[in-house]
């Protein structure tokens, strides 16, 4: 079950549901992803630093330096693969690769490189224009902080269904993919990778 890349928006989120999914592995995936989480802490520190540098580069040159852009896309890609393996989707039992680059893996992310970006938008899009999306994504991903938001609840339901029936519900997978697609589109927009405003929709 694959989610094909979107031709209409420059941020593409892909995920292929592996079947069958282990009924029990979800119980220990939190432990299994600890090495990734440690690496991602440092990668996200780098992501923030790079985004600040890119802010000034765009402000003065209207360009996002390609090397910095590729690094930040890689951080988003790595984060998505870990999330797809673990509790943002539980879509595969294949362990995520330790790499910023695209790999032969059930989950991938890509962002089209923009040749030019607006110098004016760079001042407001990451905070003011993105506020409506921050609210929605906060509900999707954070909720009250007790159950991990809507996506956490959906993935938990899918894990329980798979535990007893040996099958991941396709409707839940599609909804989880839509929520993650929305989330990463907003992340790319807020981190200055595109000027195209994220659509208010779950589908491609």
Residues 6 or more apart from 46 whose CB is under 8 A from it? 71, 75
Task: Check pLDDT > 90 for residue 185.
Answer: yes
**pLDDT confidence tier of residue 8, bands split at 50, 70 and 90:** confident
- DSSP at 25: G
Query: Is it the case that residue 202 has pLDDT exceeding 70?
Result: yes
- With bands split at pLDDT 50, 70 and 90, how would you rate the model's confidence at 204? confident
**For residue range 59-106, what is the model confidence (pLDDT) as tens digits?**
999 999 999 999 999 999 999 999 999 999 999 999 999 999 999 999
Q: Is 44 exposed, middle or buried (0-12, 13-18, 19+ CB in 10 A)?
A: middle
What single string gives the DSSP state of each residue in 84-121?
A: HHTTTT----SPPPS-SS--SSSEEEEEPPPS---TTG
For 47-61, how does the pLDDT look when each residue is reduced to its tens digit (9 = 90+)? 999 999 999 999 999
Return the bridge partners of 173, or none: none
Q: How far apart are CA 83 and CA 106, in angstroms?
A: 12
Q: What angle do CA 90, 96, 101 make, to 5 degrees?
A: 125
Q: Is 14 helix (H, G, I), strand (E, B) or coil?
A: strand
């Amino acid at each position: 079950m694959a989610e094909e890349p979107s031709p209409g928006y420059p941020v593409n989120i892909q995920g292929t549901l592996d079947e069958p999914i282990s009924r029990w592995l979800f119980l220990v995936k939190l432990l299994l992803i600890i090495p990734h989480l440690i690496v991602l802490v440092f990668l996200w520190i780098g992501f923030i630093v790079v985004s600040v540098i890119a802010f000034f580069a765009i402000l003065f040159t209207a360009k996002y330096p390609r090397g910095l852009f590729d690094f930040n896309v890689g951080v988003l890609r790595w984060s998505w693969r870990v999330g797809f393996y673990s509790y943002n989707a539980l879509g595969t039992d294949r362990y995520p690769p330790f790499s910023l680059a695209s790999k032969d893996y059930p989950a991938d992310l890509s962002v089209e490189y923009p040749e030019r970006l607006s110098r004016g938008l760079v001042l407001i899009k990451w905070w003011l224009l993105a506020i409506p999306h921050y609210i929605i994504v906060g509900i999707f991903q954070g909720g009250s902080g007790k159950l991990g938001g809507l996506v956490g609840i959906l993935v938990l339901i899918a894990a329980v269904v798979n535990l007893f029936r040996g099958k991941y519900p396709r409707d839940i997978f599609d909804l989880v993919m839509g929520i993650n697609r929305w989330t990463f589109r907003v992340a790319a927009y807020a981190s200055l990778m595109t000027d195209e405003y994220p659509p208010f929709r779950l589908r491609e």
